[in-house]
Amino acid sequence: MKARFVALLVPPTLWLAIFLVVPAAIVSANAFTAEGLRHLASPVTWTLFARSFSIALVATTVCLAASYPAAYFIAGCAPRWRNLLLFLVVLPFWTNLLVRVYALKVVLPEAFQNSTGAVVFGLVHSFLPFMILPLYASIEKLPRRLLEASQDLGASPWMSFWKVTVPLTAPGIGAGCILVFIPAFGIFALPEFLGGAQAWMLGNQIELYFKKQQGSTAAGSALTLLLLGCTVALTGVYYRLRKTEGLV
């Protein structure tokens, strides 16, 4: 029995140790060198960090605002429609992100392109499915009677929404925000296509260091570590605020 369990546990753990933990350790080792630390402390890095954080935050907020009404509507539909609508929402997620971003580039008016606004728009557009699904899952579980009770007690629909619906769907909101913010924070191909010279983000700089400049591995590792650290911190906070079973 024990042997069987070990047989199950060891292979994936070993794999992840070699291809996740060791690389992370090497990145840390590269980052904590003189060169790496110099880059970590440099104002260029922090400007990039602030810009990437802001862009990801704005994109997440807009995505949330744009997704909530749609998720709410879908949750209120008959099951047959629900499944169809969800399918339509998820379908783009299964397609290539680069293709979708390129399609945006083709369609967006020229005046809007090569700007930070275009990048935010692109992010919102690309990550809508990531936000709609968790929101939907949360809203769908809401007991309708609570809303009725709230209105019976004299609250306006608007107040019921803010005081009952939103707090109760907080898990969905949280999940959606994390699912959008983290990839948005580290993205690089999208800002390169849509942002021109304006929206240069952490991911772009990391790519520059690793792929375009020889001998900048320490710099690239430093920024990667920064990104990783931030992500882990945010995820940690998120998990603190909710409970999980199994691996889901």
37 part of the interface to another protein, by CB under 8 A: no
Pairwise CA distance, residues 197 & 186, whole Å: 17
Tokens standing for 143? 């007991």
- Interface of this chain with another protein, residues 159 to 198, rule: CB under 8 A: 162-163, 166-167, 170, 182-183, 185-189, 192-193, 195-198
- Interface of this chain with another protein, residues 57 to 96, rule: CB under 8 A: 57-58, 61, 66, 69-70, 72-74, 76, 85, 88-89, 91-92, 94-96
Smaller CB distance to another protein: residue 5 or 154? 5
Residue 89: name the closest of 81, 166, 242 by CA. Answer: 81
**Burial of 99: CB neighbours in 10 Å, binned 0-12, 13-18, 19+:** exposed
Selected from 100, 137, 151, 155, the binder of another protein by CB under 8 A is 100
- Is residue 86 within 8 A of residue 71, CB to CB? The reply is no
136 part of the interface to another protein, by CB under 8 A: no
CA dihedral sign, ordered 130, 131, 136, 142: positive
Taking the complex as a whole, the smallest distance from the CB of residue 35 to another protein amounts, in Å, to 9
153 part of the interface to another protein, by CB under 8 A: no
Smaller CB distance to another protein: residue 40 or 48? 48
- Is residue 199 within 8 A of residue 54, CB to CB? The reply is no
Kindly list the distances between the CA atom of residue 198 and the CA atoms of 120, 192, 232, 245, in Å, as whole numbers in the listed order.
12, 9, 28, 43
Smaller CB distance to another protein: residue 154 or 215? 215
| Helices assigned H by DSSP within the chain | 2-16, 22-31, 34-41, 43-75, 79-90, 97-107, 116-140, 144-152, 157-160, 166-168, 170-186, 189-195, 202-207, 217-240
Smaller CB distance to another protein: residue 4 or 144? 4
242 part of the interface to another protein, by CB under 8 A: no
- Interface of this chain with another protein, residues 211 to 230, rule: CB under 8 A: 211-213, 215-217, 219-221, 224, 227-228
Selected from 40, 113, 133, 180, the binder of another protein by CB under 8 A is 113
246 part of the interface to another protein, by CB under 8 A: yes
Neighbours of 239 (CB within 10 A): 11
152 part of the interface to another protein, by CB under 8 A: no
Taking the complex as a whole, the smallest distance from the CB of residue 40 to another protein amounts, in Å, to 14
Taking the complex as a whole, the smallest distance from the CB of residue 111 to another protein amounts, in Å, to 10
